[in-house]
Amino acid sequence: MNSFPLFRPSVDAGDLVAISGQIGLADGRLVDGGAAGQTQQALANLQAVLEAAGLTTSDVVKINIYLTAMDDYTAFNEQYNAVFSSEPPARTCVAVHQLPFGALVELEAWARRR
């Protein structure tokens, strides 16, 4: 029996697509490398969901970032800027007490079909 709740990686909402929160999981486990490694994997996971929806990172219009420690902001931001270097989306970054599976970073996004 699967212990995970029902999960939809994305939901179409007219010309917008809501992308569920992505953490640094690969093969069911958090990746190594702290916040930087988890951010890199979460971004890769986000890109995979976008691709499955027929979109790219250039279609992202809003992204919400959740960090368990603001001390990880610089490590996160370096990875984020590598993906969203030109015309980055609007974003919000907040510190949270805890994330699923003990993750350090979670990303959720809205993208627009053009």
So where are the chain's domains?
10-112
Average pLDDT, the chain: 92
Concerning whether 93 is annotated as a catalytic residue, the answer is yes
**87 falls in which pLDDT band (50, 70, 90)?**
confident
pTM strictly above 0.95: no
Is pLDDT at 1 greater than 50 in this prediction? no
Tokens of 60: 């992202």
Q: What are the two backbone dihedrals, phi and then psi, of residue 7, each rounded to the nearest 5 degrees?
A: -140, 125
Task: Tell me the backbone φ, ψ of residue 37, rounded to 5 degrees.
Answer: -65, -40
Marked catalytic residue, from 47, 93, 108, 110: 93
Q: What is the pLDDT of residue 11?
A: 85
**Mean pLDDT of all residues in 83-107:** 95
User: Is 50 exceeded by the pLDDT of residue 9?
Assistant: yes
Q: Select the more confidently predicted residue: 13 or 105.
A: 105
Residue 90 has pLDDT above 70, yes or no: yes
Query: Tell me: the pLDDT tens digits for 14-71?
Result: 899 999 999 999 999 999 999 999 999 999 999 999 999 999 999 999 999 999 999 9
Sign of CA dihedral 7, 10, 106, 39: positive
CATH number attached to the domain at 10-112: 3.30.1330.40
